[in-house]
Amino acid sequence: MPSPSTDTLRLLAIRDTPLSLDEVFDAVRDPAAGGIALFVGTVRDVDEEQPVTQLSYSSHPTAVDLLRTVATRIADECDIVALAAVHRVGDLAVGDLAVVVAASAVHRAEAFEAGRRLIDELKTEVPIWKHQTYTDGDASWVHAE
């Protein structure tokens, strides 16, 4: 099976600026798509029963390349029209958008499957790390190994 064209992988980025739902949604919008699945990850105010004041995300220089690898694999394995994913790095406040992922497909089931895989595999395979600061002044790296 040939690799997905650039028409399929519409937007893949890691940015230190605020994210836009409209930009990601528009990236996967297509006349051939009957369904679009959109996932938005936000900074929540409590993690493991500790109040959080902010998160700081950082990424490895290869993170965008690995995001492209993940997206290419999903496009090869799923029947989709388009994929998009943008993750933010830097300091984020509670409520800020941390990641936005979208998948479009002819039918909703394929859009849901590809979108779920994209966010799940991004989280496990793309080197982006999260440092949380708590209201008591403590801080910790989340899932850093």
**DSSP letters of 38-74?**
EEEEE--SEETTEEEEEEEEEE-TTHHHHHHHHHHHH
Query: Could you give all domains of the chain from N- to C-terminal order, each with its CATH number?
Result: 9-136 (3.90.1170.40)
- Number of residues in the chain: 145
Beta-bridge partner residues of 9: 83
pLDDT for position 26: 98
pLDDT for position 6: 59
- C-beta separation of 97 from 22 below 8 A: no
Mind listing the pLDDT tens digit of every residue in the chain (145 residues)?
444 555 999 999 999 999 999 999 999 999 999 999 999 999 999 988 899 998 999 999 999 999 999 999 999 999 999 999 999 999 999 999 999 999 999 999 999 999 999 999 999 999 999 999 999 989 999 865 5
pTM for the whole structure: 0.92
